[in-house]
């Protein structure tokens, strides 16, 4: 089976994408102003609670950006393939049309030449043997 070469421009579903819209992870130790109250420490054995936006990335936004990026890349390739396919189909159709036209034109030309030659021969024979009075 013939497989097309791998295109490095198309991301795999296993790649981790970070774009300008994905927030940077918060620093491990938050900076607390001196005048702010110190939050209570979490109970022993539990991890500190993080805001949901840091724990879970916005999968819907990531999916939408990835979909748009892949569609844009694929659309460019589809446009190129369509142009090649249309050119090939048109070339084949024009060749077939020319073959058909060539046969029809050859027949018309053959008939025209036969009529011209027959007329010329009868004209010359008329000069050589004038009709009897």
Average of pLDDT values for 61-87? 91
CB-based contact 128:120 (threshold 8 Å): no
Closest CA to 17 of 76, 63, 72: 63
The model's pLDDT over 92-114, given as tens digits with 9 standing for 90+, comes to 999 999 998 998 999 999 999 99
CB-based contact 21:61 (threshold 8 Å): yes
The model's pLDDT over 22-62, given as tens digits with 9 standing for 90+, comes to 555 555 555 555 555 555 555 665 655 655 555 677 889 99
Q: How distant, in Å, are the alpha carbons of 122, 125, 126, 127 from that of 131?
A: 12, 10, 7, 9
Q: How far apart are CA 102 and CA 95, in angstroms?
A: 10
Q: How far apart are CA 95 and CA 89, in angstroms?
A: 10
Is the whole-model pTM more than 0.75? no
Tell me what pLDDT residue 127 has: 82
CB-based contact 14:66 (threshold 8 Å): no
Q: Comparing 115 with 17, which gets the higher pLDDT?
A: 115
* Confidence at 21, pLDDT banded by 50, 70, 90: low
Tell me what pLDDT residue 118 has: 95
Q: How far apart are CA 56 and CA 34, in angstroms?
A: 29
Which element (helix H / strand E) includes 87?
helix 59-128
Tell me what pLDDT residue 126 has: 84
Tell me what pLDDT residue 25 has: 54
Question: For all residues of the chain together, what is the average pLDDT?
Answer: 77
């Amino acid at each position: 089976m013939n497989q097309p070469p791998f295109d490095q421009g198309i991301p795999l579903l296993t790649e981790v994408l970070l774009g300008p819209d994905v927030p940077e992870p918060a620093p491990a130790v938050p900076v607390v102003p001196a005048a702010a109250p110190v939050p209570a420490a979490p109970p022993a054995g539990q991890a500190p609670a993080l805001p949901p936006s840091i724990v879970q990335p916005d999968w819907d936004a990531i999916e939408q950006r990835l979909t748009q990026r892949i569609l844009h890349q694929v659309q460019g390739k589809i446009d190129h393939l369509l142009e090649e396919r249309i050119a090939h189909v048109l070339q084949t159709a024009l060749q077939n049309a020319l073959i058909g036209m060539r046969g029809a034109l050859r027949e018309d030309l053959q008939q025209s030449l036969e009529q011209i030659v027959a007329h010329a021969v009868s004209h010359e024979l008329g000069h050589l043997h004038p009709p009897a009075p």
